[in-house]
Amino acid sequence: MFGAQILLVICASENVSLSAEVTSEKLYSRDVDLQAGQSTVNSYTYRIQNTNFYWQRKNKWTMAEVPTNFDGDNESNLKDVHLSEEEKRKSHKELLEEIKRKGREELAQNREERKTKREEKNMAESDSPDEEDYYIRTLSAMSISLQKPEKVLGTGLVYDELMLKHKNDWDPNFPEKPERISEPFKRCSELHLVERCIRIETQYGTEDMVLLQHTRELLEKVKSTSQMNKQQLQEFSQHYDSVYCNQSSYECALVALGSIIELMEQILKKKITNGLAITRPPGHHSMNDALCGFCIFNNVAIAAKHAVDNLGVKKVLIVDWDVHHGQATQKMFYDDPRVLYFSIHRYEYGNYWPNLRESDYDFIGKDKSLGFNINVPLNQTGMTDKDYLAVFHHVLLPVAYEFCPDLVLVSAGYDCSIGDYKGEMMVSPACFGHMTHFLMGLADGRVCVCLEGGYCIKSLSESVALTLKALLRDPCPLLPPQIEPSDSVAETILNVIKVLRPYWSCFHYQDLLEDDSEDLCSFEEVNKLPPRSDVKFDKEENDSKMFPLTYTYPEEVEEVYFLQKKFDPIIDQLIAETALMRPPYRTCIVYDDDMRAHKADSRGHPEDPDRITRIFDKHVELGLLERCLRVQSRHATESELQLIHSSKYVEEMKELPEKTVFDLRKLAWNYNSIYLCQETYNCALLATGSLLNVVHTVLTGQASSGVAVVRPPGHHAECTKCMGFCFFNNVAIAAKYAQDKFGLKRVLILDWDVHHGNGTQHQFYQDNSVLLINLHRYDYGCFYPSSEDGSEEKVGEGEGEGYNVNIAWNHGFMGDAEYVAAFHQIVMPIASQYSPELVLVSAGFDSAIGDPLGGYMISPSGYAHMTHMLSSLANGRVILSLEGGYNLTSISHSMCMCTSVLLGDSCPSLQITKPMDR
């Protein structure tokens, strides 16, 4: 089932995909800093080093009760918890019930203590603010942004045929050839992407720019090549590993460098949002004093240095996904904490070029820059989308969000793409679009992508084009459902986390390895440090040797890639099957003032008509409404309601308009947290029908995404009854409607309302065609709807087993850090593997800061980032439907931020603090 994640939610069944079983006799206790939500595991702990950690594995997990006096920052709590013999004999279920009981008792006790303290404080302070004033002050303290979101400024593109002049005059089959930029540009033109970009005029780099990272001696040597004859050029090239020069190479190198810096400066000046540089020669192997690996000047490293030294940029993230390690870039910033360098590269324990010891995972920087150099070495060939996305979800994104860069530079080598004979990896062109999309959530969207390697021209061209589509904020192509990441990449991820854990709080959910044998990881390589004794590394004493002038392909590569052309039909099929959707509107929206008619007959009820009015008015104020396709509202039909609800219940609701006020009040007492009026039924029909119109608009290709500003909400409504302010389950009906009318096979419902969506869960509990992920306040079952159905143990039944994921928070006041971490570690890995055809969000904003019912602290920016991550799924077909949310300021800004992101605006920067230990 879902194997793309490292951190799991425990499930009740022994054979369910999410189940956890004991790995050894010893039970080990540690309150895991899930980042995604300590309470998700409900006082359980997982030793991930002891596992293969993927769904549908039969691996063993450890678990133990966390002491009630546990302090997550106290290292003394890392000791083993030795259970008594009596406790050991208890069944798993009995132990779980005891843990829950203790948790509830502790929670109740804490509530009483807080209540007593509040009463004492109110008595002592006669001028104590009322609740409304308190929340207003809290909102102000958290600095909720009232500014109009910045619209997309455009995507810059650098390309110049002048750079085609750099070529190998004595070896026409040399991999680094002019077609590497001409063909990708041609493909971008065929897809009409070039005409949508802002063309950036090419510039020549200056000598001062070159000297930011290279010696004067090297600069003069390269400059002299423009005057050399062929024999002199050959003699010059022989002194460097995998390098050639002709009389135009120096000029081309200056143009590549200057154009990349110009593109970066345009981004920093906010003349464009992001950009792509289709340039050559590449740069990330070029050392301070030596050319190397097809590279002349280190373009990205020079640009980063220029940004932090001369342009006032404080923090730069360099992401290098070229299949070869960018050893030169690493060396240039190894002791500079202003630049975080991240590289995912083929390594094979050091047996792959450049065969350097420092390309391994344990080289993490030095001095103040410890933890700011991240190597993710891939020790097998054939890595696919699932492996690269796992690295992004579990390593890169958590660190990048914590680092919070001002600028992202991408050393975009496409030699890890399918069909590339140098990389021998299997990453699809579409995957590069997804990786680019995730990076665009950082640095206010300031992402500068610079071409490095890539030698299968067809695969390279498609990959570059889909990267550019992502920068243009087109929907990410739908990836097929994924299988679990390989054991090899799992081992690498754990090793990377092992060495980075002391420096990044996002990895504190992982326990430290212990010395005793019972605590060792099932992956042998995780229990020790490199290097392997049988690997011969390239060392500095080899620098003086002479290198061959011509490139020789290994015999097996020649056979598979050139004679058989094994991957050509595979690449052609991938291109043909990839739907490059771009509907005429990015986002559609529905709102109808008639839904205000449902209201309580007394003032002060939180589910107030102003909830939707304030949201809609804020959309108008911020200029969002005029950018959306306005969808007509409508009433749902009875047959549509009966996709989820019983005919008897629908008939009961139909009778509401005929009842007296007294009868309505009396009837409301039969339900949980419900008020009724004569307009309730009509408004509920309008809410459901309007959402269905949004679904229809998106699935017929009129808009990429949708927003439904509707009420009453729906996710608590059961098949046969209303509850929790909800009457008809709007989102559940929408999922069934999409399946019945449009034949969808996989729908994701993401419910981020602070209350567990019990009604939605019950509808799809045995259905694997709908993946339901709930993030909610649980408090050991004491928080509304106060049912164990919200427990992390509830994973579905029958065919739906494993398709119900509850991320149930039990401790503290969760905010951006916890929710974003939950997305990185749980939501996105599972959702990416499931690969839904439609994403429906039960968008309750009662987890937002200042909400009187939720008590949580998510900012509008936090909701924007969650929306951005979800929009990588389902060809961008993401629909938000309003559920709860009762602070009018919070909900209006939060939903507007979500709409803004769906419209293609950049996510505002998010300062992620350390997530709560619980």
**Known active-site residue 285:** yes
Residue 223 CB neighbour total at 10 angstroms: 15
CA-based torsion, 5, 6, 10, 14: positive or negative = positive
Among residues 716, 756, 824, 865, which one is catalytic? Answer: 716
Q: SS3 of 292, please?
A: strand
Q: SS3 of 589, please?
A: strand
Alpha helices (H) in 564-721, listed in sequence order: 568-577, 610-621, 638-641, 647-654, 661-668, 680-699
Residues ≥6 apart with Cβ < 8 Å to 649: 719, 720, 721
Q: SS3 of 271, please?
A: coil
Instruction: Kindly state the tokens that stand for 46.
Output: 């997982």
Cα–Cα dist 508/540, whole Å: 37
Cα–Cα dist 412/407, whole Å: 15
DSSP 709-722: --SS--TT--SS--
Contact 907, 861 (CB under 8 A): yes
Contact 118, 131 (CB under 8 A): no
Residues ≥6 apart with Cβ < 8 Å to 114: none
Among residues 166, 214, 284, 285, which one is catalytic? Answer: 285
Contact 823, 912 (CB under 8 A): no
Burial class of residue 88, CB neighbours in 10 A (0-12, 13-18, 19+): exposed
Cα–Cα dist 840/848, whole Å: 19
Strand partners, 447: 408
Cis check: omega of the bond before 531, within 30 degrees of 0: yes
Cis check: omega of the bond before 354, within 30 degrees of 0: yes
Contact 371, 545 (CB under 8 A): no
Length of the chain: 918
Residue 393 DSSP class = I
Strands 878-882 and 838-843: parallel
Q: SS3 of 470, please?
A: helix
- Integer CA distances (angstroms), 860 to 139, 710, 845, 880, 899, in order: 11, 19, 9, 15, 11
Q: What are phi and psi of 904, to 5 degrees?
A: 100, 5
**Known active-site residue 92:** no
Instruction: Kindly state the tokens that stand for 74.
Output: 């106290």
Q: Which of 777, 752, 761 is nearest to 881 (CA)?
A: 752
Q: What are phi and psi of 702, to 5 degrees?
A: -80, -25
365-390 residues labelled b (16+ CB within 10 A) or e (exposed) = beeebebbbbbbbbbbeebbbbbbbb
Residues ≥6 apart with Cβ < 8 Å to 448: 260, 263, 264, 267, 274, 275, 277, 303, 407, 408, 409, 410
Cα–Cα dist 372/67, whole Å: 35
User: How far apart are the two ends of the chain, measured CA to CA in Å?
Assistant: 28
Q: SS3 of 317, please?
A: strand
3-state helix, strand, coil in the chain (%, to 5): 40, 10, 45
Strand arrangement, sheet containing 747-751: 629-630, 585-590, 703-708, 878-882, 838-843, 747-751, 770-777, 804-809
Positions marked active-site = 285, 716
